[in-house]
Amino acid sequence: MRFGMMKDHRSTTGEVVAFDGSILYLPVKLKDVVVLKSLRRTDNQEIQIKIQMTKILPPSSDLCIPFYNVVLRRVMKIIGLKLVGRNHYDPESAVILGKHRLQVWPGYSTGIKRTDGGLYLCIDVSHKVLRNDSVLDVMNTLYQQSKEDFQDECTKELVGSIVITRYNNRTYRIDAIEWNKSPKDTFTLMDGTVTTFVDYYSKNYGITIKEMDQPLLLHRPKERSRQGGKVKTYILLVPELSFMTGIPEKMRKDFRAMKDLTMHINVSGEQHTHSIKQLLKNINTNPESLNELGGWGLEVGTEILMCVNKLLYHNTNMADLHHCFLSLTNPSQAEELVSTFKKVATPIGVQMVRPICVELRDDRTETYVKTIHSHLTSQPNLQLVVCIIFGNRDDLYSAIKKLCCVKNPIPSQAINVRTISQQQKLKSVAQKILLQMNSKLGGELWTVNVPLAHLTDSDPSAGPRFVFTSFSLTRWYSRVIFQTPNEELIHGFRVCLLAALQKYYEVNHNLPEKIVVYRDGVSDGQLKMVEQYEIPQLIKCFETFPSYEPKLVFIVVQKRINTTLYSWAANSFGTPPPGTVVDHTLTQKDWVDFYLMAHHIRQGCGLPTHYISLYNTANLTPDHLQRLTFKMCHLYWNWPGTIRVPAPCKYAHKLAFLSGQYLHSEPAIQLSDKLFFL
């Protein structure tokens, strides 16, 4: 509506206009204050529009970046792409997977940013997975499966899901289901008119709603600030017109179905660059888009940026398993697993004696919990609990983990019987499980040479915090703090950091001279806040220890970025090898930062991780930071290779998932020096 009213005044503003709904950008200067009047189309009420000049922006100003992105969104619309969320997609080129009742919309995530090399358009290929099933279809299926618990099952299945309404290509999160409402109910429009949902969709979109007794879906947008306080609003959606997005949980467990889907999503580097070049071509061959850009004196290049990178080079203590408790319901299969464990244990250096095997009379959750608790009470020397379970039983898994991680702290291993049912793969599977069990008991699978003495590394993101407590960086300490959404992160981190430093002192009899913090989950807009508030608060924690002033390095880890790296060899694009670093041209002017491609990519293209050094009193050079970070990506013991982020970040995410999804409380402090959550 605002866009339409502004369009009525092109005689005043001129034809070249960029408007995002609140800020108006013009290439010409108007009077300091301009007052215009328009008629609101919905009720013919006269609306006064006040345009007030706030700034004159030179092209080099960082404040121009939002303006450039407004122009870019307009260009994407001109060439036929639809805005869904923050990305643009092409529904006309959708790939239909009829067998799986899915469709994949190809598209792009785009953004303009200023780097050391100048002003760049950052493009990444994106895909939106949509389901052919409407929410009403899902409800009907659930009703056929469970009529008695229908409403409860709908709540479990749908609340928290993201849906798309195709009449306006907008996505919404389902926050609740309004069972007492239906499309026959009325609501009030902005002009005061009362209408039903049926009439509203018929009049505005030409859509006829067929099912009149369906409930409505409730979406709560984020609170908006207005004069007088925050305004709470909600949006009601019709299930028949709302379509599920994302990959169904059942499909995620189907290898063949996921293979069919990933064929269209994980494209090669060559296909990836072809899609990007096609977008650039569409922009530069469309007269209307060229006219839009030209009106502002802008143009978009036709080639992908080529720059020189550098490549970092790639570069044990095992636990003894003497007291292990194994609970099972299939004794023959368990016996075969134990036998295989013993065969693979010796070659990899694990000393293992025969575990205590207990056969359960049934697979009920209570049976598992009572049996485990009984043996933990009667045999306090047990080192590990291993449970063989049938199927994907979240309730059973959660009960076992709550018992072993909170009430009776002991490392535990849950094994799905399907994992060990294939005889030809049993030896390989048993070895992987044994290595995971070894890690949970404090064993060290491998290490890397880190030439920085007395170094402590931590990740303060997402609740759990991790630090190393050994010079070889292979011993770990973790803590979990539950916080409310609006609570300051630093409050919980202070508790964790002090506990970690005390643990480090217990193990090494001194405090670390250098501390490296990898801070995950920070966007560009939050960097100043982290620099000006979090880091000083962190430094203040050190005052707890008399005369203690360690050197501190604070590195922000950004995974959700649009930058994509490719290798160029033999006149074709490919995926860069692990250890690829770009620390110029694409980097930012105000920070010491770099892009690191630490992991190996089998499918798709090279998506690096962006690292920004916000604070560095250890005088580590950019080269030191890059090599240290790359080595940290080698220390995740659940994967025999490098990963995309430093190991402390990955461990923190694993622990956060376990604590939030299954434990719903802080794990016992007795497990804090073990990787019990792997």
Q: What is the DSSP string of 1-45?
A: -HHHHHHTTHHHH-S--EE-SS-EE-SS---SEEEEEEE-TTT--
Pick the CATH number of 455-671 from 3.30.420.10, 3.40.50.1220, 3.10.450.50, 3.40.1350.10: 3.30.420.10
Q: In angstroms, how far apart are the furthest CA atoms of the chain?
A: 87
Given a cut of 70, whether residue 622 has pLDDT beyond it is yes
Percent of the chain with pLDDT over 90: 8
63-75 burial: b if 16+ Cβ within 10 Å, else e: ebeebbbbbbbbb
Rounded CA gap, 632 and 129, in Å?
33
The residue-averaged pLDDT of 430-451 equals: 82
Given a cut of 90, whether residue 327 has pLDDT beyond it is no
The residue-averaged pLDDT of 431-459 equals: 75
Helices (H), 296-405: 331-345, 365-378, 394-402
Q: Lowest-pLDDT range, 25-29, 311-315, 436-440, 441-445?
A: 311-315
Of 177, 157, 181, 167, which is closest to residue 220 (Cα–Cα)?
Answer: 177
Cβ-contact 211, 238 below 8 angstroms: no
Given a cut of 70, whether residue 343 has pLDDT beyond it is yes
Mean of the per-residue pLDDT values of the chain: 81
DSSP state at residue 524:
G
User: What is the pLDDT at residue 42?
Assistant: 61
Q: Assign 320 a pLDDT band (cuts: 50, 70, 90).
A: low
Question: What are 482-533's pLDDT values in tens digits?
Answer: 877 666 666 777 788 888 888 888 888 888 888 999 988 888 888 888 888 8
DSSP 3-state assignment of 533? helix
Tally the C-alpha atoms within 13 A of residue 292's C-alpha that lie toward its C-beta: 23
Q: Assign 229 a pLDDT band (cuts: 50, 70, 90).
A: very low
DSSP state at residue 627:
H
Cβ-contact 474, 454 below 8 angstroms: no
Terminal Cα-to-Cα distance of the chain (whole angstroms): 52
Rounded CA gap, 199 and 206, in Å?
9
Q: Lowest-pLDDT range, 355-369, 372-386, 468-482?
A: 468-482
Percent of the chain with pLDDT over 70: 86
Of 547, 316, 348, which is closest to residue 448 (Cα–Cα)?
Answer: 316
Rounded CA gap, 388 and 430, in Å?
13
User: What is the pLDDT at residue 47?
Assistant: 74
C-alpha distances out from residue 532 to 518, 538, 544, 549, Å:
17, 11, 21, 19
User: What is the pLDDT at residue 117?
Assistant: 79
Q: How far is CA 420 from the centre of its chain?
A: 31
Cβ-contact 475, 532 below 8 angstroms: no
Helices (H), 403-467: 426-440
Beta strands 229-231 and 118-134 are: unpaired
CA angle, 126 then 130 then 134, to 5°:
160
Rounded CA gap, 344 and 324, in Å?
16
Rounded CA gap, 307 and 595, in Å?
13
Per the DSSP assignment, residues forming a β-bridge with 333 are none
Cβ-contact 27, 14 below 8 angstroms: yes
Question: Which residue is listed with tokens 């006269």?
Answer: 46
DSSP state at residue 489:
H
Question: What are 542-564's pLDDT values in tens digits?
Answer: 888 888 889 999 999 999 887 88
DSSP state at residue 565:
B
Global pTM? 0.76
The residue-averaged pLDDT of 181-185 equals: 90
| Backbone φ and ψ of 190, nearest 5° | -60, -30
Question: What are 134-157's pLDDT values in tens digits?
Answer: 899 989 988 888 888 888 888 888
Question: Which residue is listed with tokens 């009193």?
Answer: 617
Q: Which amino acid is at 555?
A: I
Of 410, 360, 411, which is closest to residue 389 (Cα–Cα)?
Answer: 360
User: What is the pLDDT at residue 490?
Assistant: 66
Rounded CA gap, 126 and 119, in Å?
22
User: Where exactly are the structural domains of the chain?
Assistant: 1-56, 127-252, 320-440, 455-671
Of 131, 77, 81, 138, which is closest to residue 104 (Cα–Cα)?
Answer: 131
Given a cut of 70, whether residue 227 has pLDDT beyond it is no
270 vs 635, which has greater pLDDT?
A: 635
Highest mean pLDDT among 109-118, 200-209, 253-262: 200-209
Burial of 99 (0-12, 13-18, 19+ CB in 10 A): exposed
Tally the C-alpha atoms within 13 A of residue 663's C-alpha that lie toward its C-beta: 25
Q: Assign 239 a pLDDT band (cuts: 50, 70, 90).
A: very high
Rounded CA gap, 463 and 349, in Å?
35
Structure tokens at 229: 């306080």
User: What is the pLDDT at residue 472?
Assistant: 61
Beta strands 551-558 and 514-520 are: parallel
Structure tokens at 75: 């260009």
Given a cut of 70, whether residue 321 has pLDDT beyond it is no
Rounded CA gap, 501 and 499, in Å?
6
CA angle, 191 then 193 then 197, to 5°:
115
| CATH number of the domain located at residue range(s) 320-440 in this protein | 3.40.50.2300
Beta strands 514-520 and 455-459 are: parallel
Given a cut of 90, whether residue 247 has pLDDT beyond it is no
The secondary element (H helix, E strand) that includes residue 162 is strand 162-165
How is 466-477 classified by DSSP, letter by letter? EEE-STTS--EE
CATH 3.40.50.720 is held by the domain 127-252: no
Rounded CA gap, 657 and 652, in Å?
9
